[in-house]
Structure 1
Amino acid sequence: MTLNSKRHTRMPNLAHHVFFTLKDRSNAAVEHLISDAHKYLDEHDGVVDFSVGVRDKELARPVNGDFDVSLHMVFADRPAHDAYQVSDRHQEFIAQNKDSWANTIIYDSTVN
């Protein structure tokens, strides 16, 4: 079996990327959201990769959007993503932090 055909025989992962712009753009507010992301969003069943960070302000290119915190999660498959979306910990993260968000942009994609 070739690598290419092996890649297409398994269910694709689902990548979930969220970009947060905060009302309070201070370092303390950014660090709070990052801390809560680790507390509530990491280590869900089916997560194969998790990272959260900040926009690299030295890369001031026109293609980079204006955001404060980025969340990147890769799920084993679509069902794992769907279970995460309705999980108590995810809902608690939203409830605890949504008032601090000026804007969120979410991108989901299937990846191999």
Structure 2
Amino acid sequence: MQVQDLKDQVGDRATNRDTLPLSIGDSSCRYTIVFGVLTWSLAAPRYWSIDLFTSGSALPVILGLFVTYQVLLHRTPEADTQTYKAWSAWLILLLLGIATFRHLLSSIVYYSSLFQEMVKA
């Protein structure tokens, strides 16, 4: 969770903590975050065989794009705090949301076809 380590690099350096931003550098650390967020935003829906545009799984991609924007362009401790919150929301949405969207979509399709059969009868 190197996203959390971005906001307090000064304090980490003062207390001799060994965090990823201090070990590999701020920019390199930020690019690893961008790579991970973009990769998982696209890979998770693919793994669960979910169509990106019909099931609501575009939400993690949109939030992931926001996180990458924040990580790359806003580099103050205050902005890094907001980025960490956005990253946390992205992760929750990615892990819980996609599975929920998949089951919700299946239920909607099932019950709408059941309703259509009832109306025909």
Whose strand proportion is higher, 1 or 2?
1
TM over 0.5: no
Larger radius of gyration: 2
Whose helix proportion is higher, 1 or 2?
2
Structure showing greater relative contact order (alpha-carbon pairs closer than 8 Å, 6 or more residues apart) = 1
Q: Normalising by structure 1, report the TM-score.
A: 0.35
Q: Normalising by structure 2, report the TM-score.
A: 0.33
